[in-house]
Amino acid sequence: MEIALCVTGSIAAIEAVKLAKELSRHGIDVKCFMSDGACEIIHPYAMEFATGNKVVLKLTGKVEHIKFAQSDLILVAPATANVISKFAYKIADNPINTLLITAFGYRNPIIMVPSMNNSMYKAIAENIDKLIAEGIVFLDPKVEEGKAKFPDIEDIVLHVLRETSESELAGKKVVVSAGATFENIDPVRGITNRSSGKMGVEIAKEAFIRGADVTLICAHVTVNVPSVITTVKVESTGEMSGMVKKLVKSHDIFFSAAAVSDFTVKNPSHNFKISSSENLQLQLERTEKIINSVKEINPEIFLVGFKAEYTISDEELINSASRRMKESGADLMVANDLGRVGAELGSDTNQVILIDSEIIKVPLSSKKEIAKIIVDRIVEKI
């Protein structure tokens, strides 16, 4: 994949080197255009180093604006008020705006990442709205300290991958649950587990890349959740259950990836911290299996369940996951053994078995790669 990265004269241009390197790590061939203003902030050699390609500073007889306008995507990051406003009225008085107008004529995708003083951002709102109506994608900046700041690089990369994907899940509404729930003992203490939420977050990102409208129901996680993912925070199993039941009514796919507590405290203390001066006995009661209610609420939803066990054989793992599949009516089960090396709670890798009409064993892989395999399987099915 090839993209043309246009760097303009915002102080956020200093982030362009990191952005280009991150895009390259995803296997993207980055061609860079820089404005005169950008060259006063960072040297073109920095972008040449980051991309491995010569930087375009002016148009020559090689007609760079035509050659690179046919890239898979044009990314303007950062995008100043100047370049946005000129593009809104199709003014081509510099290499970057000439490239943009040419790419617009080819109907190639264009992403703008505004970065400027917030008063300027408000002042060009009409120009931004005009371009959005024409199909240009704008990323929301982080509005802080009176500035419309550069968003997180991961958010930009996810949007690039989404705009250049085959969009197999476009039009689909996806819910993903992730993380460890927490059951109160008192206002300070509680029962939880060691789940990191990494698998659920990776699935949410992959579904977003494939074009889905994604909502993440997020309990406690140890990883960053990209701001481009709509996120609903919950804490307890009861809160998780209520939110799942609310959302699955109107969604097409549900990934039940959260590590939901199997037990809750029967009579927790709500108003005071229990003294540690004496021994304490807790009475635990089982929580509901949230996954078992999903198909009753929405029989048409594609339901993906997750079943974790500890130090058992593949045959036992498949049998356990198959029983859960039958109980819940799940369309796909993802089973894993937390006792295996590299598949422990909190690890960046996993070893899973996919169970539907077939049994597919996935060797130890990154959770990012496993998320792709799971979503691929769903795309095949729907």
Backbone angles phi, psi at 186, to 5 degrees: -150, -175
Averaged pLDDT, 287-299: 96
Model confidence band, residue 149 (pLDDT cutoffs 50, 70, 90): confident
Q: Which of 330, 382, 328, 320 is nearest to 356 (CA)?
A: 330
Q: Based on the number of CB atoms within 10 Å of its own CB, is 295 exposed (0-12), middle (13-18) or buried (19 or more)?
A: middle
CB 186 within 8 A of CB 274: yes
Residue 37 per-residue DSSP state: H
Model pLDDT, residue 244: 97
Model confidence band, residue 144 (pLDDT cutoffs 50, 70, 90): confident
**Is 173-381 in the same CATH topology as 2-164?**
yes
Tokens of 129: 């709205």
Model pLDDT, residue 147: 82
Q: Cα–Cα distance between 8 and 193 in angstroms, integer?
A: 47
**Arithmetic mean of pLDDT over the chain:** 96
Strand order in the sheet with 137-138: 29-34, 2-7, 73-79, 110-114, 137-138
Averaged pLDDT, 344-365: 95
Where along the chain do its domains lie? 2-164, 173-381
Q: Cα–Cα distance between 70 and 25 in angstroms, integer?
A: 22
- Is the peptide bond between 78 and the residue preceding it cis, with omega within 30 degrees of 0? yes
Q: What CATH number belongs to 2-164?
A: 3.40.50.1950
Beta-bridged to residue 213, according to DSSP, are 173
pLDDT per residue as tens digits for the range 38-67: 999 999 999 999 999 999 999 999 999 999
Tokens of 83: 């370049």
pTM, 2 dp: 0.94
Q: Cα–Cα distance between 60 and 46 in angstroms, integer?
A: 22
Model confidence band, residue 19 (pLDDT cutoffs 50, 70, 90): very high
Model confidence band, residue 143 (pLDDT cutoffs 50, 70, 90): confident
Averaged pLDDT, 190-213: 97
What is the CA angle 164-64-7, rounded to 5?
65
Q: Which of 199, 190, 202 is nearest to 161 (CA)?
A: 202
Model confidence band, residue 92 (pLDDT cutoffs 50, 70, 90): very high
Backbone angles phi, psi at 171, to 5 degrees: 85, -10
In 10 A of CB 58, how many CB atoms?
10
| Confidence check: pLDDT of 146 > 90 | no
Q: Which CATH architecture does the domain made up of 173-381 adopt? A: 3-Layer(aba) Sandwich (3.40)
